[in-house]
Structure 1
Amino acid sequence: MTDKNPSIGIVIVNYNGAKYQNAAIKTIKEQTYQNYQIVVVDSASTDDSVELLVEAYGEDVTVLREKENCGFAAGSNIGIRYCLEHGADYILLLNNDVELDSLLLENLVADADENTVVVPKIYFYEPSDRIWAAGGILNWNHCETKHYGIEEKDIGQCDERQYVNFAPACCMLLHRSVFERVGYFDEAFFMYYEDTDLCVRLLENGYQILYEPEARMWHKVSSSSGGQNSKVSVYYIYRNQLYFMKKHSDKARFRGRCYAVLKAMTKAVTAPIRRKNDGVIFTAYLDYLKGKMYRKR
């Protein structure tokens, strides 16, 4: 029999989130579904985000302080283990640069079970009617992911509940059995592509990923890494794409791997002309070939 009021461990990884983290916590506290605990893993922040968090919410939030920046993958694993050890039935992975609709938890829990991972409709924070992700797809022919509906104004085109083969982990509800059967995030990724890797392993182990459009939230995209086109983001995306393709070489077709590398090299070569940060792709590739994974030192 399915528990109608399961406990949820909400895991948030913080790195210098003083400008937006408390706004995220505020919208969690406003949820209609209240059987949850909030665990913030602080990844050696150098701002006053932890102090502001404790001042505003005190014992309502458990803060686990790390001595160094451990990244999203390892930080999430630390929070997940803590929540499971303290009896959580489900884990909600959540970025700290988001704001939630008050019915988000209620709508996610309504669809979740031991075999179903549930993800919401995610909007850009600004403009707030533009979709960032309505679930997504992993295209093995290109070895890359795409968010459904991205950059589109929401006029109801993504209002159908559907199963997907990929979704970003900035908001994802998973049953505790996932971590017993599938395992945790691969910490070699540090950040970026760790969610893609997890989605592949979920499907390999018989889980389904359900997109639930009635669950809604807004995302201040890539705030902790300086923006989605910052040097930090570009570096980890392209280094980790190589690692991901090798790790799943049984699925990443040769044509797809060639496409991905050619696309990346084209972006890197033309970066000065386009005045983009894609020149860092060269460094990302060299570091991968040297076996430099986890956090860039």
Structure 2
Amino acid sequence: MADDPARDLAAARRRIEQLETALMRRTELLEQKQAELAAVRASKAFRAASLINKLIDRLFPLHTRRRTVLKRTARRLTAIPAALLARRKAANGPPPDERYLSECTPPDEYRRWIGKHEPDAAALMKQRAHRFSRAPKISVVVPVYNPPAGFLEAMIASVRDQTYGNWELCLADASTQPHVRPVLEKAAADSRIKVEFLAENRGIVGNSNAAAASATGDYLALLDHDDTLAPFALHEVVAAINESPDADFLYSDEDKIDTHGDRVEPNFKPDWSPETLRSRNYVCHLTTLKRALYETIGGFRPGFDGSQDYDLVLRASERAKRIVHIPRVLYHWRMHAESTAFVKGSKNYAFEAGKKAVAEHLTRLGIDASVHDGAVQGLYQVVYHLRTQPLVSVIIPNKDQVGLLSRCVESLAKSSYANYEVVIVENGSTLPETHAYYRELQKQPHARVVEWTKPFNYAAVNNFAAAQAKGDLLLFLNNDTEAINPDWLEAMVTQAVQPGVGAVGAKLYYADDTIQHAGIVVGMGGVAGHSHLFYPRQASGYMQRLRITQNVAAVTGACLLMPRAVFAEVGGFDEGFVLAFNDVDLCLAVLKAGYRVVWTPDAELYHLESKTRGYEDTAEKQARFRREYDLFHLKWSSFLKAGDPYYSPHFRLDRPDFALKAA
């Protein structure tokens, strides 16, 4: 076959892109390890170890018999058998790529976590003896309709076993099966258990309201007739109320009970996340509402069977004074043939009712939007409608690299969103073709080039450009990005103009279609790291997070959209962060000012990270990185100590795959 130069050139380019992507991935890992190393060196333990090493050098000088004996003794004392090493390796869980195609925590990993993190018998006994300064009555509300006797008995027993004593169990029974009534009559011998036998089945909504009507407690905790509570559930709820007395809406983490009776699929949730809730009912179980709030919103509403809890939660969120997330697994959702926990597609009517609940929630808030089916059943996509198209200033710093820049700009031109301007920030280009490209680009009415003549400082460069931009929205975009879907910018703009939103990020891929950015976890790797890093494009992510619009603590500056007014309010980028962490710092300033940061998978781009800025591969760059690391810790120490509110404290911070902490 004759040589085909065009084909060979295309193949060579593909190979170069593959090699560049591999290099980017290694660089990402290297920078994460550099941050972790900086954290270690800054620790008290490291400083203490350094002092000890100096003392050892003084008492046991190198190349002396004393030093040789010391080393030999140390090796013997610290030797670990190979079998123990293997067990330790296994305890760390499977390597990340084995987790990519699952949205759930591996069962063995969760089983180990339970053993290390949940209270044992002694701790439960201590809880029973504890006296809270505030001891509200909790009414556990349960509608009952033909559950298996064993499941019903287990539910009742789980309430009776609570370590917190000031509760009542309110049951409304509409069962038609004869086995249910004897179980409930026996339970009613306990004065804390109220049972109302309904004359007819009123449906899940009517039965739930009937159960709630008999409640006399200060708070209502919602429980299904076939599920169970952890023995410490109400204790944790009351502890949270004592810590936050104004809390009128509380929710916890949860897991499932499989058909073998094993606890599986824990759902470790984020703190309050409005955008996440519009994408799916992540709140779910255990939900506890102040009775006054429940009554104010009118309880459960007819017309939402199957998603009545979702509708209730959405309405409660609109009126709540304070919403508190309890990061403990307090609720066990039983998987069986009739449960939505078992077969995700088994109750289509519930999914449609959920869609209706979200749509009406948005209408009540005065938000013009439509609700569509999400990637899979149980997920929703909210499409916000724009009455006008605000001008977006797309700010792109650039130094040479015309090939990358032209691809980036061309992909912008294919966007379905028309009202934008391109502001190229020229900083030190030397190639003639770069300036020739600038001249051609500026012939277009929406494009211009501004020149930065000072030493490169990413934060300062973007502040400089933002001051000259004309748009109401500012999009900070790297020149090594390329849009994939034509409506990507519209998807970001519709999020950015929503009330309370301060910054929006996109879903970014490496050239090999693995995840480069799906939101930033603050604290990961010492400062910040990307969640789901290197996951394949088709992966759903932990609890479907790669498929839904959600709240996060920060998004990458490689593609960051925010209202100009918010950017000005928080003072723009902090120019003390010359290159690293400036985007994370900006997002934390946005959060501190009371706004939300949103990540959406509906905006997809490729990002060849670091192609223009290079790598942290010199002593000077590493020293700069360390200065910025120290500055971030100084500025945001309280946030780092409290932890990222959108990433469970039970997840490890040394890997991006939502692996659980071992201890």
Aligned partner of 1:200 among 561, 564, 588:
588
Partner of 2:397 in structure 1?
Answer: 13
Q: Which portions of structure 1, spanning 4 or more consecutive aligned residues, are displaced by more than 6 angstroms?
A: none
Q: For 2:478, give the aligned amino acid.
A: N
Q: For 2:431, give the aligned amino acid.
A: D
Aligned pairs for 1:11-90 within 5 A = 11-48=395-432, 50-60=434-444, 61-83=447-469, 86=470, 88-90=471-473
Does the residue aligned with 1:22 lie in a helix, a strand or coil?
helix
Stretch of structure 1 that moved more, 213-222 or 185-194: 185-194
Which blocks of at least 5 consecutive residues in structure 2 are unaligned?
1-366, 368-385, 541-545, 644-663
Contact 1:43 1:71 in 2 (8 A): no
Deviation at 1:49, TM superposition (A): 5.9
What CA distance in whole angstroms lies between the structure 2 residues aligned with 1:23 and 1:52?
Answer: 16
Contact 1:226 1:233 in 2 (8 A): no
What CA distance in whole angstroms lies between the structure 1 residues aligned with 2:387 and 2:623?
Answer: 43
What CA distance in whole angstroms lies between the structure 2 residues aligned with 1:52 and 1:230?
Answer: 31
Does the residue aligned with 1:250 lie in a helix, a strand or coil?
helix
What CA distance in whole angstroms lies between the structure 1 residues aligned with 2:583 and 2:440?
Answer: 30
Aligned pairs for 1:141-160 within 5 A = 143-157=526-540, 158-160=546-548
Q: Does 1:211 align with 2:599?
A: yes
The 3 A distance-change label for structure 1 pair 94 and 192 is same
Partner of 1:289 in structure 2?
Answer: none
Q: Does 1:115 align with 2:503?
A: no
Q: Does 1:165 align with 2:553?
A: yes
What CA distance in whole angstroms lies between the structure 2 residues aligned with 1:3 and 1:143?
Answer: 43
Partner of 2:299 in structure 1?
Answer: none
Contact 1:120 1:171 in 2 (8 A): yes
Deviation at 1:249, TM superposition (A): 3.2
Deviation at 1:29, TM superposition (A): 1.2
Aligned partner of 1:183 among 571, 575, 578:
571
Between Structure 1 and Structure 2, how many residues are aligned? Answer: 248
What CA distance in whole angstroms lies between the structure 1 residues aligned with 2:438 and 2:476?
Answer: 20
| Aligned alpha-carbon RMSD (Å) | 2.3
Deviation at 1:74, TM superposition (A): 0.8
What CA distance in whole angstroms lies between the structure 2 residues aligned with 1:109 and 1:254?
Answer: 31
Does the residue aligned with 2:402 lie in a helix, a strand or coil?
coil
What CA distance in whole angstroms lies between the structure 1 residues aligned with 2:521 and 2:569?
Answer: 23
Q: Does 1:99 align with 2:99?
A: no
Deviation at 1:16, TM superposition (A): 3.0
Deviation at 1:71, TM superposition (A): 2.1
Deviation at 1:55, TM superposition (A): 4.2
What CA distance in whole angstroms lies between the structure 2 residues aligned with 1:170 and 1:27?
Answer: 15
Which blocks of at least 5 consecutive residues in structure 1 are unaligned?
256-297
What CA distance in whole angstroms lies between the structure 2 residues aligned with 1:49 and 1:151?
Answer: 34
Contact 2:504 2:555 in 1 (8 A): no
Stretch of structure 1 that moved more, 2-11 or 160-169: 2-11
Contact 2:516 2:533 in 1 (8 A): yes
Stretch of structure 1 that moved more, 48-57 or 158-167: 48-57
What CA distance in whole angstroms lies between the structure 1 residues aligned with 2:493 and 2:549?
Answer: 14
Q: TM-score, normalised by structure 2?
A: 0.36
Using the aligned pairs only, state the percent identity. Answer: 25
Partner of 1:244 in structure 2?
Answer: 632
Partner of 2:198 in structure 1?
Answer: none
Per-residue displacement from partner, 1:59-84 (whole Å, max 9, x unpaired)?
A: 3321011223332111101111111x
Partner of 1:134 in structure 2?
Answer: 518
What CA distance in whole angstroms lies between the structure 1 residues aligned with 2:507 and 2:624?
Answer: 25
Q: For 2:588, give the aligned amino acid.
A: V
Q: For 1:251, give the aligned amino acid.
A: F
> Whose RCO is larger (CA < 8 A, sep 6+)?
1
The 3 A distance-change label for structure 1 pair 109 and 233 is farther
Q: For 1:151, give the aligned amino acid.
A: F
Does the residue aligned with 1:96 lie in a helix, a strand or coil?
coil
